[in-house]
């Protein structure tokens, strides 16, 4: 099972969010355009590039990544999809608390890995409709590695354009996070309150 010390370097791009499970969820008819979806990813990528080239220390970078995640990602949808079946059994209060700590958890986890992107960049190319959302294609350039493709899934299901998944060379990162979160919950005997408390320091 991956953790933040063993995740492949290429998985970093997808750390802010990323799952095939969401692609199967019912989405409303397309209301946003390809240009709007691409603009959302353009802004996200510009902020990522800005953070990794800022020269800030780790603590400041992690705070910036959390702001980015909350601004451009559909955090509630991602968090609940990662939680899986337990989300349907949780109370409204538990879901709210879990979503808040999940945002911090995922930002810290992958924000630390993003430091390896220093000196690299991500470039956005094009957007195309897929079912009832848009897929925006970009390319990541890292030092010492061949360029690789990153696909962002964007929807306006929440009422505004946000990304809800990232696919890297066919690897669905949200699915991986869902497996890991399930294991963390199992280790705590299915106690969501314990998971919420522990995620604050993981």
The pLDDT tens digits along the chain (202 residues) read 444 434 455 444 444 444 444 444 444 445 789 999 999 999 999 999 999 999 999 999 999 999 999 999 999 999 999 999 999 999 999 999 999 999 999 889 878 877 777 888 899 999 999 988 999 999 989 888 899 898 999 999 989 999 998 887 777 878 889 999 999 999 999 999 999 999 999 8
Which CATH number goes with the domain that contains 92? 3.10.450.710
Give residue 78's domain range.
11-21+31-199
Q: Are 128 and 35 in contact (CB under 8 A)?
A: no
Closest CA to 154 of 50, 98, 85, 78: 78
pLDDT for the residue numbered 6: 42
Rg (CA), the chain: 16
**Domain tally for the chain?**
1
Instruction: Write down the residue that tokens 């802004």 correspond to.
Output: 43
Task: Look at residue 156 and tell me if it is in a domain.
Answer: yes
Task: Look at residue 154 and tell me if it is in a domain.
Answer: yes
b vs e for 26-51, b when ≥16 Cβ sit within 10 Å of the residue's Cβ? ebeeeebebeebbbbbbebbebbeeb
pLDDT for the residue numbered 30: 53
DSSP H/E element including 106: helix 92-114
Task: Look at residue 134 and tell me if it is in a domain.
Answer: yes
Task: Look at residue 3 and tell me if it is in a domain.
Answer: no
Q: Are 7 and 106 in contact (CB under 8 A)?
A: no
Q: Whole-angstrom Cα distance, residue 9 to residue 148? A: 12
Q: Are 19 and 82 in contact (CB under 8 A)?
A: yes
Task: Look at residue 65 and tell me if it is in a domain.
Answer: yes
The pTM of the full predicted model, rounded to 2 decimals, is 0.79
Task: Look at residue 99 and tell me if it is in a domain.
Answer: yes
Q: Are 184 and 201 in contact (CB under 8 A)?
A: no
The neighbouring-strand residues paired with 148 are 140
Task: Look at residue 54 and tell me if it is in a domain.
Answer: yes
Tokens of residue 98, six digits: 């879990």
Task: Look at residue 93 and tell me if it is in a domain.
Answer: yes
Q: Are 186 and 86 in contact (CB under 8 A)?
A: no
């Amino acid at each position: 099972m991956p953790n933040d010390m063993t995740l492949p370097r290429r998985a970093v791009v997808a750390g802010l969010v990323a799952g095939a499970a969401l692609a199967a969820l019912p989405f409303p008819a397309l209301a946003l355009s390809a240009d709007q979806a691409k603009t959302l990813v353009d802004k996200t990528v510009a902020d990522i590039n800005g953070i990794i080239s800022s020269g800030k220390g780790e603590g400041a970078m992690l705070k910036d990544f959390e702001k980015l995640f909350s601004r451009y990602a559909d955090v509630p949808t991602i968090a609940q999809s990662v939680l899986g079946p337990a989300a349907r059994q949780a109370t409204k209060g538990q879901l709210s608390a879990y979503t808040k700590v999940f945002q911090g958890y995922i930002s810290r986890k992958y924000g630390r890995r993003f430091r390896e992107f220093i000196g690299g960049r991500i470039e956005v190319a094009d957007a195309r409709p897929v079912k009832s959302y848009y897929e925006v294609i970009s390319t990541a350039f890292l030092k010492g590695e061949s360029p690789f493709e990153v696909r962002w899934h964007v929807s306006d299901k929440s009422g505004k354009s946000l990304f809800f998944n990232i696919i890297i060379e066919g690897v669905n990162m949200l699915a991986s996070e869902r497996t890991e979160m399930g294991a963390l919950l199992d280790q705590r005997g299915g106690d969501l309150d314990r998971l919420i408390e522990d995620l604050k320091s993981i």
